[in-house]
Amino acid sequence: MAIFEYAPAPESRDIADIKPSYGLFIDGEFVDGSGTPFKTVDPATEETLAEVATATSDDVDRAVRAARKAFGAWSGLPGVERAKYLFRIARIVQERSRELAVLESLDNGKPIRESRDVDLPLVAAHFFYYAGWADKLQYAGFGTKPLGVAGQVIPWNFPLLMLAWKVAPALACGNTVVLKPAETTPLTALLFAEICRQAELPPGVVNIVTGAGETGAAVVAHPEVDKVAFTGSTEVGRLIARTVAGTGKKVTLELGGKAANIVFDDAPIDQAVEGIVNGIFFNQGHVCCAGSRLLVQESVQEELLAALRRRLGTLRLGDPLDKNTDIGAINSAEQLARIRSLSEVGESEGAERWSPACELPERGYWFPPTIFTGVAQSHTIAREEIFGPVLSVLTFRTPAEAVEKANNTPYGLSAGIWTEKGSRILWMAERLRAGVVWANTFNKFDPASPFGGYKESGYGREGGLHGLEAYL
């Protein structure tokens, strides 16, 4: 129960200038799409934001041809010249970050505090970081020869950040790009197209084609695409792997996760609670590496859960543009239905469900922060990725049992360890089958640090020196 009532602190919508309709961005120009246009909606209110063009396979072909035509001159530039464009893009992103953050929160549903303080600074940082590599590729150890045209398909949970993760290294290495943003969150990608023009990036170096799954499939399957980069669900990742098998295309797949956040009895409880909340309720749990399984040592389970429930009682759910909001809207009606159905399965299989008293707005797609206790490893909610603000709590007694339970998943993207003992952190990290292991923190990202998974979480790495390999 809050002692003080918060006054609303809304960010102005007017900062983001949303056009009634958007075309495709091909060869430096906005052009009409040949498919049936679709609407993108604000998930907090269900109102239509804009109408967006759909790219057919013919439009994708035009975009790939434009990228192929631009490749010769772009890859022929000295790295130091390519770097100038990347630096320019990074600075424009910083200058327009308030506008981009508002647009991201309107289109995606995430709290403005997150898009403003997490997403946007990281977007700029990725362009700055890879700009620094553009003239130093000979020191990276992967050669200096770009691949050609990169076909990139990104998800709706971090629309602009995933764009930066993909576009920045591709351009730094001398490749050209055809990017397909998610159909529920195309607006910041289309504003990024304007930023490319503002930075005077040569036409055809970055092309953006909007649409649903068929558009993405056309990008992946196009014979002139040399490299495919995808972030999204494991099932779509499997389809992509099948499509490109035997074609000689280079592929990186960053797929689902079911991360274990492991709390030992000597962990600082309040710090761990903040890490658990950040691990699963950040971005409404729409995070591939979310700490969706809490593994807590039996002796501190009651104390930790009491503190966690108290903390959840202080989270504010509501208008994503309000600067006080902690939990925004679920991105789409389809995703909300999935979260609801998996939560019902959790209850029917015998886990105990708890949410803080929480008033949900009447319009929009909303789901309260939810904890399941009494979860067994065999439960669906402990195995399947829910991709929402839902935490499954399991217990363990020994470090060996914690490792066994943490690794008992088809995924292997991330993990968290909470303990005072440095030796235990290293012992655990060595044994956890996860691409990223956080120690006494969670969801910390840095452009210089590689990110990616094992098993059904995909293959390849993005970010850091390792992120160059996929584009050379």
- According to DSSP, the residues that pair with 396 across neighbouring strands are 297
Residues 220 and 242: beta-carbon distance below 8 Å: no
The residue written with tokens 């403005």 in the block is 112
Residues 284 and 328: beta-carbon distance below 8 Å: yes
Cα separation of 234 and 350, whole Å?
27
| Residue 271: both structure tokens together | 């710090």
| Residue 332: both structure tokens together | 């789409």
Residues 253 and 408: beta-carbon distance below 8 Å: no
| DSSP E strand stretches across 162-226 | 176-180, 206-208
Taking alpha carbons only, the member of 417, 410, 456, 409 closest to residue 436 is 417
**Ramachandran quadrant class, 265 (left: phi over 0; alpha: psi -120 to 50; beta: rest):** alpha
Residues 90 and 120: beta-carbon distance below 8 Å: no
Cα separation of 391 and 296, whole Å?
12
From 11, 183, 254, 385, active-site residue: 254
Helix, coil or strand: residue 102: helix
| DSSP E strand stretches across 196-317 | 206-208, 227-231, 250-254, 260-263, 293-297
Taking alpha carbons only, the member of 440, 470, 446 closest to residue 458 is 470
Dump the DSSP string for 303-358. Answer: HHHHHHHHHHTT--BS-TTBTT-SB---S-HHHHHHHHHHHHHHHHTTPEEE----
Cα separation of 93 and 198, whole Å?
11
Backbone angles phi, psi at 133, to 5 degrees: -85, -20
Is 254 a residue of the active site? yes
Helix, coil or strand: residue 390: strand
Catalytic sites, residue numbers? 254
